[in-house]
Amino acid sequence: MNPPLRLALGGMNRVFLHCASLLVSRDQRVDWRREWSAELWHMRRSCPPSELFSWKAEQAAAAFCLGAFQDAFCVRGIRRENREVAPSQHGSAGECLFWLAGLLALSCILACVLPGVYVESHPAHYQINPGLILLQSDLFTDSSAATITGQQFLDLKASRQRGIDGLAFYRMTKETLSPGLHAKPKWAVAHASFNLFALLGGPESFAAVSSEPSGGLPPVVLSDELWKREFNGNPKVIGNVVRVGRIAARVFGVLPRGSWRLPGRADAWLLQPNTEISRSAVGYVVAHTTRFGQAEMYDDRLHINAFVTDDPDADLWGVSFDERTRGPWTIFRFAVFLAFLALPAITSVSLGESCFSSHRPSLARNLYRWVFLSTKIVLLLSIAYFASLDLSYWNATGYSALSEYAQLASSFFICLFGMRWILLDQRERFPVCLRRVTHPAQVGQASRTFLAWNGTELMCTSGHTLLHVPGLPTSWFGTQRWMYLDTSWKFLFAGTGVG
Amino acid sequence: MVSQMKLSHTAAMILQAIDTGCVYGFSIMEMTGLPSGTVYPAMRRLERDELISSRWERQSIADAEQRPARKYYKLTAAGRVTLEGSRKRYPLLQRMIPSEEAKSL
C-alpha cells in the first residue's frame, strides 16, 4: 500500500479514538485513550506480515477504532449512574459557596448593566479638584439651597480673601433649547462663570474653557441625557449653534453621565462672562480653598467673613464637596462597621465548638473550616456591596443624599442578617465534613429540664456525628454539643454511600 | 447476591475467555470473535459489577519489549462464582472456549 495513504489511514484511526475519547469524562480520558491506543497497536501487530499493509487490515483497524465510540458511550453511562448513586451535594460546603458565588455574580452583572450603579461605583467619573467648597449664606442650613446673589459673588471676587481663591458662580433656570427634537419642554440650564469647569477639573477639554472664546458665542455644555433625548446622541451636534432661551450659544461638548455632583440638577451649562451675571439672581458659588483656608476648616466647613459693601454682617460658610464625591466605598465600610457592632445583639457569635468527647478535628480540617468561614464572609461582603449599590443607585443620575442613605441602610441590613445566617449555618455544619446536620428530632421532655436534658438532636447524613442542641440552656448544658460517632455506626449510613 | 447474577451469553463468553487466559481486550476479541464495540463495553460492565478487575502492566516490562503497556483483566472471586453459574446455564460455553485444563485433556 502507498505509504502516504497508510499514514493517512493511521491518522484517521487516531482521530476516531481522539473523537471517541471526548465522550469520556475528563478524569477518565487519559487512561481510556491509553488503553485503546495500546490495544490498537497490538491489533496492528497481530496481523500476519503479508496482510500488515493491506486494505483488509486497514478495514479491520477502522472497524476496531469505531468500536471505541460504543465503549466511550458505555463508560460515560456508567459514570452517570455512579454520579446518581453518589451522595447528594445538598447541604454541602460546595453547594453553599456555589449559591453565594451565584448571588455575587448576579449582583455584579446588575452593577455593570445599570448605568446609575456603574457610574456610582467608579468614583473617577465624578472626581473634582481637591480643596473645593460650596459657599453658602450663614442664614441657611440646607447645603443644597442656592443662597448667594450675583452681586455677592461679584463683591467676593473683587475683595481679597485669605481662605479662598478661584471663585465660580452658577444659577439654575428653566429654558427652552432650539433647534431640538422637542420644542416645548424646558430644560434645567445652569448659567455659569467661564471658569466653572476649569475650577472643578474633570474632563480636560472642559477645563480648557476658562475664558471667553474668540468666536463671540458663549459655549454650552450638554448633559448626556439631554444630548440623547434632544439630539438622538448625534456627535455632529458638537460645534453647532443652538439657542438657549434667547441666547445663541455654541455646543462645546457633552458632560458624561454622573459627572455633575454639585447642587442643582442641570441639563445644560451655559458658560458666560461675569459681566453677564444677573446681580439679583440667586445661585451657587464654588471656591477653592487656600492653604490657610484648609487649615481653618473644621468638620468639613470653613467660616468666611464676607466683607461685602452692602451687608457687612452676611457671613458665609464654605462646605466641602467631599461628602458628594467620596463614592460608595466609604459608606459601605461604615455600614459594615455598624453591622459588626450590632451583630452580638441579634445572635451569639460562638461557633458551637463544645463536644462530648475529647475528639478534636485535625489541624488541616480546622484550617479548612476556617477557610470556608472566611470565604463565606468575603462572598457575603461582596454581595452586600454590589447588591446595596444595585438597590440604591439603579436609577440615580447624579448625587442624591437619599441614595446614600439607602446604600447605608441596605448594606447594614444585608451585612447584619447575612452574618447572622453565616454564624447559624457554621454552627450547624459538622467540623469535619462541613455538611449541614439534618433530620431534627425532639428528645426528652421540656417538663423534665432539670432532671434530664431535652432538646433537639440533629444528624450528619455522612454518619460522622450527632448534634445536641439544648431546648433550654442550663448551667450544665448551656450550648450545643457535637457527639462524634465511631465506625461502628457506619452500617446505619450504608445506604448513603458515604461514611 | 452476586452468585445469583445472571449474565448474558456474551458476558459469559467474555468471562470464560478471561478465565482461559485471555487477559487483555484484543485477545478476548480474538478468542470470542466478538467486535470491539461489544467486548470493551461488556468488560466495563463486568468491572462495574466487580466480576473482573483490571490493572496496568508495569511500564518497565512494556518498555523492555518495546511496546505500549497493556491493561490486564482478571476474574474476581465473585466473577468465578458467577462464571460457574453461567457454565451451568450455557453448557456449550466451555466447548466454544475451552479452558486450559480442558485443552490439556
pLDDT at residue A380 in the model: 96
Nearest CB to A63: which of B25, B35, B45? B35
Residue type, A290: T
Quick one: A177 and A292 in the same domain? yes
Nearest chain B alpha carbon to A61: B36
Report the domain count for chain A.
Answer: 4
Min Cα distance B69 → chain A (Å) is 7
Interchain CB distance below 8 Å, A71 and B48: no
Quick one: A402 and A296 in the same domain? no
How does pLDDT run across A165-202, given as a tens digit for each residue? 888 999 988 888 777 555 567 888 999 988 888 888 86
Instruction: Name every chain B residue with its beta carbon within 8 A of the beta carbon of A21.
Output: none
Quick one: A157 and A29 in the same domain? no
pLDDT at residue B2 in the model: 44
Quick one: A487 and A383 in the same domain? no
Quick one: A75 and A135 in the same domain? no
With cut-offs at 50, 70 and 90, classify the pLDDT of residue A410.
very high
pLDDT at residue A262 in the model: 85
Interchain CB distance below 8 Å, A39 and B26: yes
Domain end residue (candidates: A380, A401, A433): A433
Q: Which of A378, A404, A382, A376 is nearest to A391 (CA)?
A: A404
Min Cα distance A51 → chain B (Å) is 16
Instruction: Name every chain B residue with its beta carbon within 8 A of the beta carbon of A37.
Output: 68
Q: Which of A231, A246, A236, A233 is nearest to A176 (CA)?
A: A246
With cut-offs at 50, 70 and 90, classify the pLDDT of residue A408.
very high
Residues A69/A20, Cβ–Cβ less than 8 Å? yes
Nearest CB to B37: which of A34, A42, A66? A66
Quick one: A235 and A269 in the same domain? yes
For residue A476 the three cell numbers come to: 450544665
pLDDT at residue A142 in the model: 72
Min Cα distance A85 → chain B (Å) is 13
Q: How far is CA A411 from CA A333, A387, A393, A395, A461, in A?
A: 9, 8, 13, 18, 35
A110 has a pLDDT exceeding 80: yes
Quick one: A116 and A138 in the same domain? no
Quick one: A253 and A141 in the same domain? yes
pLDDT at residue A335 in the model: 95
A412 has a pLDDT exceeding 90: yes
Quick one: A122 and A147 in the same domain? no
pLDDT at residue A405 in the model: 92
Min Cα distance B25 → chain A (Å) is 7
pLDDT at residue A373 in the model: 92
A333 has a pLDDT exceeding 90: yes
Interface test with A, best of B36, B45, B57 (most A CBs within 10 A): B36
Between A120 and A411, the higher pLDDT residue: A411
End-to-end CA distance of chain B: 34
Residues A171/A148, Cβ–Cβ less than 8 Å? no
Instruction: Name every chain A residue with its beta carbon within 8 A of the beta carbon of B68.
Output: 34, 37-38, 41-42
SS3 content of chain B, % helix, strand, coil (to 5): 60, 10, 30
List the domain range (segments joined by +) for residue A387. Answer: 92-127+327-433
C-alpha A314/C-alpha A304 separation (Å) is 10
Bridge partners, residue A249, by sequence? A242
Q: Which of A80-89, A235-244, A332-341 has the lowest mean pLDDT?
A: A80-89
Quick one: A201 and A299 in the same domain? yes
C-alpha A469/C-alpha A155 separation (Å) is 75
How does pLDDT run across B32-71, given as a tens digit for each residue? 888 999 999 999 999 988 889 999 988 888 888 888 888 9
C-alpha A134/C-alpha A286 separation (Å) is 5
Quick one: A156 and A294 in the same domain? yes
What is the ipTM for the molecules in this complex? Answer: 0.90
C-alpha A431/C-alpha A362 separation (Å) is 10
Instruction: Name every chain B residue with its beta carbon within 8 A of the beta carbon of A65.
Output: 36
Instruction: Name every chain A residue with its beta carbon within 8 A of the beta carbon of B50.
Output: none
**How much of chain A, in percent, has pLDDT values that exceed 90?**
16
Question: What average pLDDT does this structure show over A440-445?
Answer: 82
A 10 A CB-CB count for A38 gives 21
A 10 A CB-CB count for A23 gives 16
Interchain CB distance below 8 Å, A35 and B25: yes
Q: Domain ranges in chain B?
A: 2-98
C-alpha B69/C-alpha B57 separation (Å) is 6
Instruction: Name every chain A residue with its beta carbon within 8 A of the beta carbon of B39.
Output: 67
CATH class of residue range B2-98: mainly alpha
Quick one: A290 and A342 in the same domain? no
- Which of A63-72, A157-166, B95-104: highest mean pLDDT? A63-72
Query: Omega before A87 cis (within 30°)?
Result: no
Nearest chain A alpha carbon to B44: A75
